[in-house]
Amino acid sequence: MITRTPGLLGGKPCLRGHRIGIHRVAGWWKLGLTTEEIGERLSTLTPAEIHVALAYYHLHRQEIEGYLKEERAACRSLEVKPPLPT
């Protein structure tokens, strides 16, 4: 149920048939969302697919944490910083 496709999400693992990365599901779960709440946000996923994604996260925690860290860094780099006082 987990696939990796070059050119899709940079080759990161995702759920088969979806463009949803495992790191996305794991990130929301780590923020405290329940599987039901994740399902509300990602309505194309079944509860079983959400559980598969979380199982993959737990089995490959270091890999997925690395993707989450990269994503946080990318978001921080896009933040608009106020100009320095002159």
CATH classification at residue 42: 1.10.10.10
Average pLDDT, the chain: 91
Within-domain flag for 84: no
Residue 21 pairs with which residues in a beta bridge? 14
Within-domain flag for 58: yes
Percent of the chain with pLDDT over 70: 95
- pLDDT at position 69: 94
Query: Can you list the residues of the chain whose pLDDT is less than 70?
Result: 86
CA–CA separation, 1 and 15 (whole Å) = 6
- pLDDT at position 46: 96
Within-domain flag for 54: yes
* Boundaries of domain holding 55: 2-78
Within-domain flag for 86: no
54-69 pLDDT per residue, tens: 999 999 999 999 999 9
Name every residue whose Cβ is closer than 8 Å to that of residue 14 and which is 6 or more positions away in sequence.
2, 3, 4, 5, 8, 20, 21, 22
Count of domains observed in the chain: 1
Within-domain flag for 47: yes
* Residue 20 and residue 49 in contact, taking contact as beta carbons nearer than 8 Å: no
Within-domain flag for 85: no
